[in-house]
Chains A and B, each alone.
Chain A
Amino acid sequence: MSPEARSRTAVIAKTLTFTGAYAFGVVLFHQLYLASRVTSRELSAAISIAVVQCATILAMLTFSFVAKLIRQLRTSRAARAEPQIRELLALHAAGTDIRGRILLMNRSGRAALEECLVEFLHMVRGSGRDALSELADDLGFVECWRKQFRSRNVTRRKSTIARLALLSRRYARKTLQDALTDDDESVRLHAARAILKYCEPGEAEKVFDVAIHGTFVTRMILTEDLRPHVLELAAEAIPSALESGDTAFTLAALEMMRAWGKFLPVRGVYPLLRHAEPSLRAAALHVIPQVAQSSGLHFEILRALEDPSEEVRSAAAHAAAAMDIRDAVPALARQLHNDGPKTAWVAGRALAELGAEGRQILERETITGSPAVASVALEALERIQISRTRTVTP
C-alpha cells in the first residue's frame, strides 16, 4: 500500500472511529438515561443526539481553551528561563567551558534547553556548531533524536531529520544516509536536503538519484538544492540517467537540466534526439542549447523541425531560435502556416529572433498571410519591439 493510500485509509478509519464512538454515546445516553424519562422514542433519540453533540462541542471548547492556556504558560515559563540558557549556550559556542552549569540547567528545564540548542544550531557554523553538537551528544539529545528517527510516525521522523541536519556531520551522517531510503517520500526529501547542506563528495549523486526517482514536487525542490552541485553531477550521474533506458528517469533528468538553465558538458543528450518517444525528443531539444555543440547538430534541429510530432517541432523551433540557426527560417515559415496555434506562435517568436530574414518573412505575412497567420506574425513583431523598447528605456 502506498503512503498516500495508507494515509487516506487512516483518515477514513479515524472518521469511522469517531462516528462510531459518537453513535455509541448517543445510544448509551438514550438507553441508560432518556428512554425511561421521555415517552416518545423520536424525542428521546433526538435529544440524545443533541446532548452528545453539545457535549462534544463543549469538550472541544474546553480543550481549545486549556490548550491555549498551557501554551501561554509554557511561553511565559520559557520566556523566563530562555535568556539565561541562551547566554550559556552562546558562551559555550564561543569556547568557554561552562558544561557544569549547562548540565544543571538540563535537569531543571530540559525541554527549554533542547529548544534553545536547536535554535542556536540553526545560527552557528564552524567550531561553534561543533561545540554545540558535542554538547547535544553529551546531554543525550543526539541519541534521543536517533531513536525518534525509528518512530513509525512520519511527522516525528521528519522533525528528527530536521534536527539531526543541524549537527556536525559525524553525529548524523549514518542516520541521514539511512533516511534516503525511508519508506516515506517526504522523509527522503528532508534527508536529501539535510545532506546537501554540508555535502561531501559523492553525496550529491545520491540526492540526484532521490530526485529523479521521486515525485515532481520532490524533483522541483531538489532541483534548486542541487543547483550548486551541477558540475559534479554532469560528470557521471546525469549521463547515467540519460543513458539508463528508462523513459521516466531520462525525462526527469532532462527536466532538471532545463530548470538549471546552465551550460553543461554532458554526454548522452544527442542520441535522445532520435529516440522513439516524442516527449523525450522534445525534452532533449529543450536542453540541447545548454550542452556542448557538435558537428551535425544543426542538421538534427532542422530534421526535428519536420518531425511528425507537433510537440517536437515546437521544441525544435525553440532550439533553433536559442542557437541562432538561420537555416531554420524556411522551416519555421512553413510552421506558421501548417501547425496549430501554439506551435505557430512559437515559430513566429523564433522567426522574430532570427534576424532580418525572419522578421522580413513575418512582415510579409502580416500583409499576405491568412488572418490567423497575420495575427501571429504581428504579435511576434510586437513582442520583439516591446522587448527592445524595454531594453532601451532606462
Chain B
Amino acid sequence: MSWWAAVESTFYFFERTIILYVAAINSIYFLLMVLGFFALRHYRAGLRPEERSILLNSPMLPEVDILVPAYNEAKTIVESVKALLNLHYANHHVVVINDGSKDETLQILIEQFHLCRSARRPDGELPTRPIRAVYRSRSPIRLTVIDKENGGKADALNAGLNVARGTLVAAVDSDSLLEPDALSNVIEPFVQYPGSVIACGGIIRVVNGCSVEHGRVTRIATPRAIIPLFQTVEYLRAFLGGRLAFSFLNCLLLISGAFGVFRRDALVEAGGFLITTVGEDMELVVRLHKRWRTKAAGYSIFFVPEPVCWTEVPESWRVLHQQRNRWQRGTVETLAAHRDMFFRPRFGAPGLFAIPYFAFFEMLGPAVELAGYLVTGVGMALRLISVEIAISFFVVSILFGILLSMSAVMLEEFTVRRYPSIGDLGRLLGAAVLENFGYRQVLAIWRVQGVWDAFRGKAGWGTMERRGFKRRTAAA
C-alpha cells in the first residue's frame, strides 16, 4: 500500500467518524426534542388558572427570598427591583446584593426605595468578602440591600444566602425581568412534591425586540437585529428541547443563573455557590446531584417551561464572544471538577447520561465540527475523499442543524406560542436556517477557544453592555 493510499484511507476514516459523530449528536438532540415536546404537553395538563391563582394567595406558600446580585447595574436595577417587588406571590422578599459596584447602583437603590441602614447581620456561615452594610426599606416594602466588597457573582449570592431566612431562595440576575407569575409557577413543583424538590429552573427568553414598561414586558416580538434573533432560536432549542427532556429524566445539569429557585437548606448544606468558577450555576446543580445521589436520598431537580424570565442578550459580536467563551469555560470547569461522576452508576442518570453527554457533545462537539470542516475542505482540495462523502458531511452537519432549529421553532409554535404574529414565526424560521451559515461556525470557533482557555486556567467574566429597559420602552 502506497503512502498516498494510506493518507487517503486515514482521511476517509476520519471523515466517516466525524459524520457518524455529527449524526449521533443530531439524533440525540432530536430525541431530546421529541421527549421535550411530550414532556411539555404533560406539564401543561397541570393546574387550571383559577387554581393557580388560589395557590398564589395561599398563606401556606413557602417564603421565598429573591437574591439579586448587582454589579454596575445602575441602568437597569430600579426597573428590575420594581418588577421583582410586584411579582404575584404572597410571601416573597427581595435581597439585592451590591457587589462593590463602581457606579451609582447603591445610591440609586437608597434613594428610590427609601433605604436606611439596618442592624441586621448575616445569619449564615458561608464565607464571603466583607459586608459593608445592610440596608432595609423604611417603606412597607420587602426589600433588603446588602452592600459588600466585590467578590464576583457567586460570592454575592453566598452573601445573600447568609442573609436569607426563607425556606426557598431564588437567584435572579439584576438585568433580567421576571413575568408576574414566574415565581408562583416555578414554586409549583416545591409545593407539589414537598421535601423532594431541591431546585427548579424556568425558561429564559430574549427581551431584545420586546417592549418593556415599568419592569414588565408589554409586547412580545422577535428582535430586529440578527445576532439577538439567532440567539432567540438558540434559547428556544436549548430550553424547550434539551432542558425539558433532561428535567424529565431527573438529570438536569443546568439551571440558568438568570433565574433559578433552590431550597435554602439544600444550598447551604452543599456549601453555597462556588466562587472559583465562571460557571457557578452549572457547577452548583451538578454538585447538588452529586451530594443527593451520594446520600442516596430521593430528590428532584425540575425545569418548568411556564415561568418566563426575560433577559437581554448581547447585540455585538465582541460581547457575545466573551459570553460564549465564559459559558464554555464554565462547562469545562464543572465537568473537570466532577469528573469522578463519569459513567458511575451510583450517580444515576446524571452520571451515566447527562455528564457524558455534556463532555462528549457540548464540550467536544464544536472541536469535532470544526475538524469536520477542515478535513472535508482539505480532503476535497486534495481529492482524498469523494464528493458524496463531503455532501454527506454537509447534510448531517448543516441540513440537520437547520432542521433541528426549525423543529425547535415549531415546538414553540405548537405548545407555548409566545410569539403572536406570523411575521415573528417567519423571522424565527428564517433565523433557524441562516444561523447555520456562518453564525454557528463562529460560535464553534469561540467554544473551542473557550475549552482551550479553560485548560489554560483563564479566569474572568468580561463585560456586558446594557441598553437598559427604559430605552426599550422608548424604542417600542
Contact residues of A with B, CB < 8 Å?
Answer: 7-8, 10-12, 14-15, 18-19, 22, 38-40, 42-43, 46-47, 49-50, 53-54, 56-57, 60-61, 64, 154-155, 186, 189, 215-217, 219-221, 223-225, 255, 258-259, 261, 341-342, 345, 371-372, 375, 378-379, 381-382, 386, 389-390
Docked Cα-Cα span, A328 to B19, in Å, equals 75
7 contacts between A and B (CB under 8 A): A39-B388, A42-B16, A42-B388, A46-B19, A53-B400, A259-B59, A341-B123
Task: Mark contacts of B55-70 with chain A using CB atoms, 8 A cut-off: 1 yes-contact digit, 0 otherwise.
Answer: 1011111000000000
Within 8 A of A (CB), among B159-204: 165, 188, 191-194
Chain A residues, CB < 8 A from B142: none
Docked Cα-Cα span, A61 to B426, in Å, equals 11
How many A-B contacts are there with CB distance less than 8 Å?
Answer: 130
Within 8 A of A (CB), among B404-426: 406-407, 410, 413-414
Docked Cα-Cα span, A53 to B404, in Å, equals 9
Closest A residue, CB atoms, query B36: A15
The segment from B39-47, B308-316, B320-328, B453-461 found at the interface with A is B39-47
Q: Which 6 residue pairs spanning A and B have beta carbons closest together?
A: A378-B119, A341-B123, A40-B388, A375-B121, A46-B395, A42-B392
Chain B residues, CB < 8 A from A15: 31, 34-35, 38
Chain A CB within 10 A, most for which of B30, B31, B60:
B60
Q: Is B218 located at the chain interface by the 8 A CB criterion?
A: no
Closest A residue, CB atoms, query B410: A60
Tell which of A11, A57, A224, A258 touches B42, judged by Cβ atoms closer than 8 Å: A11
Q: A220-B58, A220-B191 are in contact. Are A49 and B392 (CB under 8 A)?
A: no
Chain B residues, CB < 8 A from A386: 136, 138
Q: Contact between A11 and B389 (Cβ–Cβ < 8 Å)?
A: no
Chain B residues, CB < 8 A from A10: 42
Task: Mark contacts of B1-38 with chain A using CB atoms, 8 A cut-off: 1 yes-contact digit, 0 otherwise.
Answer: 00000000000000010010001000000110011001
| Min distance, Cβ A254 to any Cβ of chain B, angstroms | 12
Chain A residues, CB < 8 A from B395: 43, 46-47, 50
| Min distance, Cβ A152 to any Cβ of chain B, angstroms | 14
Q: Contact between B392 and A43 (Cβ–Cβ < 8 Å)?
A: yes
Chain B residues, CB < 8 A from A46: 19, 23, 392, 395-396, 399
Q: A11-B35, A216-B192, A375-B119 are in contact. Are A50 and B403 (CB under 8 A)?
A: yes
Closest B residue, CB atoms, query A13: B38
Chain B residues, CB < 8 A from A40: 386, 388-389, 392
| Min distance, Cβ A204 to any Cβ of chain B, angstroms | 17
Docked Cα-Cα span, A390 to B137, in Å, equals 12
Docked Cα-Cα span, A60 to B39, in Å, equals 18
Docked Cα-Cα span, A155 to B388, in Å, equals 51
Docked Cα-Cα span, A56 to B33, in Å, equals 13
Tell which of A18, A39, A50, A189 touches B34, judged by Cβ atoms closer than 8 Å: A18
Closest A residue, CB atoms, query B398: A50
Q: Contact between A60 and B403 (Cβ–Cβ < 8 Å)?
A: no
Q: Is B248 located at the chain interface by the 8 A CB criterion?
A: yes
Closest B residue, CB atoms, query A59: B410
Docked Cα-Cα span, A225 to B140, in Å, equals 29
Closest A residue, CB atoms, query B390: A43
Q: Is B54 located at the chain interface by the 8 A CB criterion?
A: yes
Chain B residues, CB < 8 A from A22: 30, 34
Additional 5 contacts, C-beta under 8 A, given A11-B38, A220-B60: A14-B38, A40-B388, A53-B400, A56-B407, A64-B414
Q: A50-B403, A378-B119 are in contact. Are A19 and B31 (CB under 8 A)?
A: yes
